[in-house]
Structure 1
Amino acid sequence: MEKWKNGGPLPPEFGSEGQWEDNRKLCDSFVYKIHIHLPDDPPWPPRLAVASRKSDNYLVYARHWLDPNKYQLISIMSPEAHALARTSYLAELERRAEEFQNT
């Protein structure tokens, strides 16, 4: 992830990236999720656009509000990341992100 965030190529295990647009607190805390391909998952087709690479596993990270080059991995949501994202687990992500932002 470090090489990618410093201008390198996107790792082949990474897919579509986004935020929880319906959760203001996570957006305000610069929390992002990226779909990730795990070893036991069926492979993504070779020419599949990054925006179309979806899985039920997320790597969740935050970007620091004062230092845009500082990142913190805050969770790997797997299995069933989509279902987990509809639970109170998002409050735990909020807590971890706020802790990181206050460092």
Structure 2
Amino acid sequence: MNKTGKLLTGVLVVTVIAATSCQDEEALPDTPDDPSCDDWEWEADEGVWECDDYDSSYYGHYYYGGSYYSSKNKLTSSSSYKSYKTSSSFKGGSSGFGSGKSGGFGG
């Protein structure tokens, strides 16, 4: 393959990745509107937001259904989260592209 062909292939791959990333980001629920945390990171496997605000007492906590969970175990033990995880509205379960998305202030 000549240099032009390689360049075009590279541009096409980057375009597809960028389009996929934008689609994933648009599918995410809005970041929580909670004054206790100003920076959020999407946790794709769990399908919930995690507080990524170093200045918050909730730093590292998962957020689902208006509540903070200090560990993955506490989150996944919640009956409301279990219902969400098995529902068609579940937004998680993937890693790779789309995981670790940041949002909110400073995100």
Common fold by TM > 0.5 = no
Q: TM-score, normalised by structure 1?
A: 0.32
**Which structure is higher in RCO with an 8 Å CA cutoff and minimum separation 6?**
2
Structure number with bigger Rg: 2
Which structure is higher in strand share? Answer: 1
